[in-house]
Amino acid sequence: MVGVIRYRLDVLEALKTAGWSTYRLGSKGEKVIGERTIQVLREGRPVSFEILARLCRLLHCQPGDILEYVPGEDERQPGHHQDAADA
């Protein structure tokens, strides 16, 4: 099984803590992130690099603070080594 990239934190909760309610994010005046993207974040689905960059700007962080790589089952086995050519 291949590893996955997932959210390290609840992005919408982190935004709320930083003063960005979902209303403010999607409001006509500030429209930082659209309603569709807010729903994507609620569902834990991936976003574009552009949206990831906006999230980093709003949260004053790096992508690694938002996302993490979780190795797959086969990668957790002792002695497993995957070359870049295998990827």
Which tens digits make up the pLDDT trace of 25-77?
Answer: 888 777 789 999 999 999 999 999 999 999 999 999 999 999 999 999 877 66
**Cα separation, 43 vs 40, whole angstroms:** 5
| pTM reported for the whole predicted model | 0.79
Pick the CATH number of 4-86 from 1.10.260, 1.10.10, 1.20.5, 2.20.200: 1.10.260
Two tokens at 26? 């999607």
Residue owning tokens 């002695």? 79
How many H helices and E strands in the chain? 6, 2
Percent helix / strand / coil, the chain, rounded to 5: 50, 10, 45
Asked whether the beta carbons of 63 and 56 are under 8 A apart, the reply is yes
- For the chain, what is the largest distance between any 2 Cα atoms, rounded to a whole number of angstroms? 55
